[in-house]
Chain A
Amino acid sequence: MIELSRLGKKFGAITALAEVDATIEGKIIGLLGPNGAGKSTLLKCLLGLVPFDGSAKVLGLSAATHGPEIRDRVGYMPEQEAFLTGMSAVELCTYAGELSGLPRTEAMQRAHASLYYAGLEEKRYQPIDGYSTGMKQRVKLAQALVHDPELLFLDEPTNGLDPRSRDEMLELITDLPQRRGCAIVLSTHLLPDVERVCDHAVIMNKGRVRFVGSIDELRGARGRLGELIVQVKADPDKLAAALTAAGATVKPVTPVQLHVDLPASATNKLVFQCARDAGVQLRGIEVRKESLEAAFLRVIEAA
């Protein structure tokens, strides 16, 4: 979907992107990074708006030479307000569709469908100037969808929303790839949002991509398959004693869960063996994952 090869961008003496190499795939991809990490510059490069070194391909098209074609196939929901004064939501979305190359009638039909999908219903005929923050966010989503994009860039889509509106927006974002078949790049500071909706993540820091992969890989990306959460039916102490005797480090998590750090060369077979020897029934065993926040901080700090 997105291929970056030695992508570089400098603004004077400041290096915004430093030879970025990455292949980004997924349905909903979280684009994460602290301020100044290069996320906005990366978006500009991907949309073909600024010249850059190296190469960037979006949906198989070169961003350096096919910017307008890419922007016809990509939807962008900006963080800041980006409306035209004096227009209703349906007028704005129709205009957006036409600017993306749709015939007027098609643009109007799709504007109604997008706004209805985004939950604006009859309010789509009212001027946007009088909308609440939540409604404006929905209009921004609808205008990004109206031209049937294959890829959506959402920039802080839940900014300024109350908890209920935030839930609704995240529901829409989760639903989009299934119902409309488009992939989403979600640029946000809110790690709980990413944890809830994203299946992949890209972490940037100081102009470089520090991590690309699935959320599961990110959270379990320490390469420590020997760090496990083990659930038992009863008698966790017996299993803990057996595992400790075998050289593992064991800590209770809940009355029926243990955090097990296996010795370096051991695999999870050791847990099964110890459970059999101790006569303890296992109910679950999984590789322990970090919280997304901890994983994010680890990646950033390692950089």
Chain B
Amino acid sequence: MAMTGQIHDLGYKRYAGARRDAGTRWRVIMRHQIAMAWKTWWRFKAWVGMAVLISFIAGAVMYIFSNRMFHGMGRVGDAALMIRDVALPQSIAWYCRAAFITSLTLGGTIIAGDVQSGAFTFYFARSVRPRDYVLGKLGGLGAITACITMIGPVLLAGLRLGLCESASDLVDHLVLLPKALLVGGLATCAYAAVPLGFSALADSRRTALAMWAAYYLVGGTIAIMIGSISHTGWIAALDLPTAIQGVANHLFGMPLIGPRLSGITMAEGITSVVAQVVAAIAIVWTAVDRAQKTGIGGST
């Protein structure tokens, strides 16, 4: 800092160019979100690496054991399934784990962090509207999460197509791509929006993180237990990874055997995820809208 009180000027000139439309600000926020996540290893890159490893292992298993039957430690019952058809749906749970860890390092603290650091004032003193902020944060976190939950499954679906033995087999399996996109998209929405919703519920990062982790781990476990005991699919589907796995198994023709998944219909799985995502976005919207109206102005 200049301690002389000297005023520096590099030759000031007024900005005469056009300003970008207010409707583009969400893209600036989204890009910034991704850039900040990319800055550190432990927040994002490590978990992308984990997703790459999951894809590599699942792809290697799919390739090496492509013609072997899958017994799944008795969990598929009498179903006749090939390993190459099972590797993709079975890997979804692992992608969900990587996405959950990313939500702990990034998504679960985003809005609480902005509240804590006073960033709302920084944003809303400019021509940023609540919808720009919400869209930017959701878009950024969605892109980050999609690197983990969407790219891997789509690549595995592509590999499965590569393992097809004939052209007709390939055509029959082309539907795997949109199915992988759907499951990946569902997981992306869940692991981007729901932790963001929790981050909007608290003013401190630690509290927001604790709430999200408790909801996911403890709440999810309780939902599975009650769902298993009562044989009620929609209650078990309140657990996000269970709902996503249930949808994946339905889409990829895997039997729903085991206490976690039994009884979950595809509609229940999708409805549960969509309902939680919508609720989370509503929470984020309310918190941000309120913050815009109260966050500017000093105490004078």
A-to-B contact residues, CB < 8 Å: 33, 35, 39-41, 43-44, 47, 49-50, 67-69, 71-72, 76, 78-87, 92, 95-96, 98-103, 106, 110, 112-113, 116-117, 119-121, 123, 132, 134-135, 138, 143-144, 147-148, 155-156, 164, 167-168, 171-172, 175, 179-181, 187-189
Question: CA separation between A143 and B122, bound complex, in Å?
Answer: 9
Question: CA separation between A52 and B12, bound complex, in Å?
Answer: 37
Question: CA separation between A69 and B20, bound complex, in Å?
Answer: 11
Chain A neighbourhood of B215, CB < 8 A? none
CB of B207 within 8 A of chain A?
Answer: no
B125, A78: Cβ atoms closer than 8 Å: yes
CB of B117 within 8 A of chain A?
Answer: yes
What are the interface flags for B1-38 relative to A under an 8 Å C-beta threshold, 1 for contact and 0 otherwise?
11101111110101101011110010011001000100
B20, A101: Cβ atoms closer than 8 Å: yes
Chain B neighbourhood of A120, CB < 8 A? 1
Chain A neighbourhood of B113, CB < 8 A? 85
Chain B neighbourhood of A102, CB < 8 A? 15, 17, 19-20
Question: CA separation between A41 and B293, bound complex, in Å?
Answer: 10
A180, B12: Cβ atoms closer than 8 Å: yes
CB of B119 within 8 A of chain A?
Answer: yes
Question: CA separation between A71 and B22, bound complex, in Å?
Answer: 11
Distance of A239 from chain B, by nearest CB (Å): 43
Chain B neighbourhood of A85, CB < 8 A? 113, 117
Chain A neighbourhood of B6, CB < 8 A? 119
Distance of B8 from chain A, by nearest CB (Å): 5
Chain B neighbourhood of A132, CB < 8 A? 1
Contact of A84 among B10, B25, B114 (CB under 8 A): B114
What are the interface flags for B29-51 relative to A under an 8 Å C-beta threshold, 1 for contact and 0 otherwise?
10010001001000000000000
Contact of A78 with B121 at beta-carbon distance under 8 Å, contacts A147-B15, A164-B3, A179-B12 already known: yes
Distance of B76 from chain A, by nearest CB (Å): 46
A78, B296: Cβ atoms closer than 8 Å: yes
B126, A72: Cβ atoms closer than 8 Å: yes
Chain A neighbourhood of B123, CB < 8 A? 99
Question: CA separation between A18 and B204, bound complex, in Å?
Answer: 36
Chain A neighbourhood of B14, CB < 8 A? 148, 181
A101, B121: Cβ atoms closer than 8 Å: no
Distance of A293 from chain B, by nearest CB (Å): 16
Contact of A80 among B20, B25, B121, B126 (CB under 8 A): B121
B1, A79: Cβ atoms closer than 8 Å: no
CB of B300 within 8 A of chain A?
Answer: yes
B127, A44: Cβ atoms closer than 8 Å: no
Question: CA separation between A98 and B122, bound complex, in Å?
Answer: 12
* Nearest 8 pairs of A and B residues by beta carbon: A40-B297, A101-B19, A79-B298, A68-B127, A76-B125, A119-B2, A82-B121, A155-B298
CB of B250 within 8 A of chain A?
Answer: no
Question: CA separation between A223 and B117, bound complex, in Å?
Answer: 48
B8, A99: Cβ atoms closer than 8 Å: no
Could you list 6 examples of A-B contacts with CB < 8 Å?
A78-B296, A99-B28, A102-B20, A113-B12, A164-B5, A168-B2
A95, A99, A119: which has the most chain B beta carbons within 10 Å? A99
A76, B296: Cβ atoms closer than 8 Å: yes
CB of B231 within 8 A of chain A?
Answer: no
Question: CA separation between A81 and B121, bound complex, in Å?
Answer: 9
Chain B neighbourhood of A119, CB < 8 A? 1-2, 6-8
Question: CA separation between A123 and B32, bound complex, in Å?
Answer: 22
Beyond the given A44-B296, A67-B127, could you list 20 further A-B residue pairs with CB under 8 A, ordered by the A residue number? A35-B300, A39-B300, A40-B298, A44-B293, A49-B292, A72-B19, A72-B126, A78-B118, A81-B117, A83-B118, A84-B114, A99-B25, A99-B128, A101-B25, A102-B20, A113-B12, A123-B1, A147-B15, A179-B12, A188-B300
Question: CA separation between A40 and B123, bound complex, in Å?
Answer: 17
CB of B129 within 8 A of chain A?
Answer: yes
Question: CA separation between A181 and B12, bound complex, in Å?
Answer: 10
Contact of B299 among A35, A100, A116 (CB under 8 A): A35
Contact of A49 with B5 at beta-carbon distance under 8 Å, contacts A76-B296, A155-B300, A179-B12 already known: no
B39, A79: Cβ atoms closer than 8 Å: no
CB of B252 within 8 A of chain A?
Answer: no
B298, A84: Cβ atoms closer than 8 Å: no
CB of B124 within 8 A of chain A?
Answer: yes
Chain B neighbourhood of A147, CB < 8 A? 15, 126
Question: CA separation between A132 and B3, bound complex, in Å?
Answer: 13
B293, A168: Cβ atoms closer than 8 Å: no
Contact of A117 with B297 at beta-carbon distance under 8 Å, contacts A68-B22, A68-B129 already known: no
B1, A106: Cβ atoms closer than 8 Å: no
Chain B residues 230-269 with CB under 8 Å of chain A are none
Chain B neighbourhood of A171, CB < 8 A? 5, 7
Distance of A44 from chain B, by nearest CB (Å): 5
Question: CA separation between A123 and B297, bound complex, in Å?
Answer: 28
Contact of A95 with B28 at beta-carbon distance under 8 Å, contacts A102-B15, A110-B15, A147-B15 already known: yes
Question: CA separation between A112 and B128, bound complex, in Å?
Answer: 22
Q: Which residue of A lies closest to B15 (CB)?
A: A148
Q: Which residue of A lies closest to B19 (CB)?
A: A101
Contact of A49 with B124 at beta-carbon distance under 8 Å, contacts A72-B19, A110-B15, A179-B9 already known: yes
Question: CA separation between A123 and B125, bound complex, in Å?
Answer: 25
